[in-house]
Structure 1
Amino acid sequence: MTALEVAFSPCPNDTFVFHAWTHGLVPGAPETKVTFADVDVTNTAALRAEFDVVKVSYAALPWLLEKYELLPCGGALGRGCGPLVLTADGRTNLDGARVAVPGERTTAYLLMRLWAQGQVPASVEMVPFADIMPGVRDGRFDAGLVIHEARFTYPTFGLTALADLGQWWEESTGHPIPLGAILARKELDTAELTRVIRSSVDYAFAHPESSADFIAAHADEMDPDVQRQHIALYVNEFSRNLGDEGYAAITDLLDRAHAAGLVPPIGPLRAG
């Protein structure tokens, strides 16, 4: 059987989740050919159906569900883990601000647009994630939208949080925040892939030491303590199973975004 083309980010939560599958530790699982890529890259590549299984932003789903099925495991959805809007100048809103964001169809940017309705930035620029905090610190931007480990490291850049979009979302809706989704091409055995990925998650939780070297090798020299915090924040019970609570959160996010004219409408998210 031809190896499946699988794409996910080099971030610790993804390498933690996919380590067992991609290293032959899940019995009966198909072989994989792995591509590491930032989520903004995979969001675009998935439009062309370049991968069999791919990690994307939930915000990108309305453009992808014709060719892909949303799997109920392996992704990032939770509480206390949302994107941050950071500044260096103490501003209280984004009016007139030059804003750096990590991608056009990231969940972070979608949340920022929902939160910032009525505010009018001077400009919004798509910027590689690693360049956002230095850019705000150095005055190239007035505000930056950040994700992942930046929750733990932004004070070292002398920045302050204008908004915690996850907190805003949770307080506004009561839902956890949907961040990253796992999709599989519809013509594949998605039930079997769900078993494989869930087994990979279970193995990761049961044997956290097994994936440590793999995680460290792809974590951009991230401090080991930050790696552990990153995993603890983004890998949780929703990574095993979205369940009713997870699906409700995703549907509410995308329905609100559609009502605001930001995304196309979506159909049912569950297979069948």
Structure 2
Amino acid sequence: MNIAFSPCPNDTFTFHAWVHGLIDNAPKLDVTYADIDKTNYWAMAHKGPEIMKISYAALPYVLSDYQLIPCGGALGRGCGPLVLTKGNDNAANLSEKTVAVPSDKSTAFMLFTLWAAQNVPHGIGKVVVLPFNEIMPAVKTGKVDAGLVIHEARFTYKQYDLTMMVDLGDWWEEDTGLPIPLGAIIAKRSLGKKEEITEWIRRSVEYAWKHPEASMDYVMAYADEMSVDVAKSHIDLYVNEFTEKLGEDGYAAIESLLSRAAAEGVVPQCDLARLRD
């Protein structure tokens, strides 16, 4: 069975047991490691592996062909994207600024757009897409005025002498009371194996929690020179109860995000009932 997920610690931690044949009766996985921006476009182009980790922001474009797997993804509290600047700019000033983002089809960008609709009266000046590992250096050197960052950047941005303008996760949670939907696991509907895939992933998550050190060599092999402490902090933040099971709060968060984004014209309207079928 073919799968694509990111090399980030939360994904390698989550899938370690399945990838390494530690889940009874689960098929062997052929893994492609790819940034979520790539998997988003693969899914929208009906290309790529049978199972993928994509952004929840891409779901409206692919629900007719892919099922949402209700575990293995990334939702949570206190784990949202950050908007960083070099100085102490306020939100209103972003109407005259260039902001770097890691993808224009990501949940991070969707949250940023929804926040800006409320807080940047004249709209963002200019948005450019950069690989997420290039964003903080670009802000530090002045190549761009601000950056939207994700993943472990929330633990490392101070090393670049940058200032947090807003934590979009805090904004979302205060505005909705719901967790933040970040990354989703999807599987091709033509497989007809939603229940089996859900079970295999859930057992992989449970194995990871029961044997947290078993995956560390695998995690660190793909952690892009990240320290062990940062990798563990990353895992602790992004692998949580919603990784094991979306639950009603998880579904409510996804429905709220996608319906709000559709109302703002950020994504097309979609049949939210398809999230569960």
In the alignment, what sits opposite 1:205?
A: 209
Matches within 5 A, 1:182-201: 182-188=185-191, 189-201=193-205
CA contact (8 A) 1:55 1:183 kept: yes
Deviations 1:130-188 (A, max 9, x none): 10000000000000000000000000100000010000000000000000000001122
| In the alignment, structure 1 residue 146 sits paired with structure 2 residue 149 | yes
Which residue identity is paired with 2:167? D
CA contact (8 A) 2:50 2:188 kept: yes
Matches within 5 A, 1:110-149: 110-117=110-117, 118-149=121-152
In the alignment, what sits opposite 2:83?
A: 85
Which residue identity is paired with 2:213? E
Paired with 1:181 and 1:259, the residues of 2 have a C-alpha distance of 21
| In the alignment, structure 1 residue 264 sits paired with structure 2 residue 268 | yes
Deviations 1:54-107 (A, max 9, x none): 000000000011110000000000000000000002100112111000001010
Which residue identity is paired with 2:228? P
SS of the counterpart of 2:89? coil
CA contact (8 A) 2:36 2:55 kept: yes
CA contact (8 A) 1:6 1:35 kept: yes
SS of the counterpart of 1:72? strand
In the alignment, what sits opposite 2:99?
A: 99
CA contact (8 A) 2:99 2:144 kept: yes
Q: Aligned pair count? A: 269
| In the alignment, structure 1 residue 217 sits paired with structure 2 residue 217 | no
CA contact (8 A) 1:60 1:106 kept: yes
Deviant stretches of 4+, over 2 Å: 118-122, 269-272
What is the Cα deviation at residue 123 of structure 1?
A: 1.1
Paired with 2:154 and 2:200, the residues of 1 have a C-alpha distance of 30
In the alignment, what sits opposite 2:7?
A: 10
CA contact (8 A) 2:85 2:145 kept: yes
CA contact (8 A) 1:57 1:105 kept: yes
Paired with 2:170 and 2:204, the residues of 1 have a C-alpha distance of 29
Structure 1 or 2: more helix by fraction? 2
Identity of aligned residues (%): 55
SS of the counterpart of 1:210? coil
What is the Cα deviation at residue 46 of structure 1?
A: 1.1
Paired with 2:224 and 2:274, the residues of 1 have a C-alpha distance of 34
Paired with 1:12 and 1:89, the residues of 2 have a C-alpha distance of 30
CA contact (8 A) 2:116 2:124 kept: no
What is the Cα deviation at residue 41 of structure 1?
A: 0.7
In the alignment, what sits opposite 1:165?
A: 168
Structure 1, unmatched stretches of 5+, are none
| In the alignment, structure 1 residue 42 sits paired with structure 2 residue 39 | yes
SS of the counterpart of 1:254? helix
| In the alignment, structure 1 residue 176 sits paired with structure 2 residue 179 | yes
Paired with 1:175 and 1:49, the residues of 2 have a C-alpha distance of 32
Paired with 2:138 and 2:123, the residues of 1 have a C-alpha distance of 20
What is the Cα deviation at residue 119 of structure 1?
A: 4.1
Cα RMSD (Å): 0.9
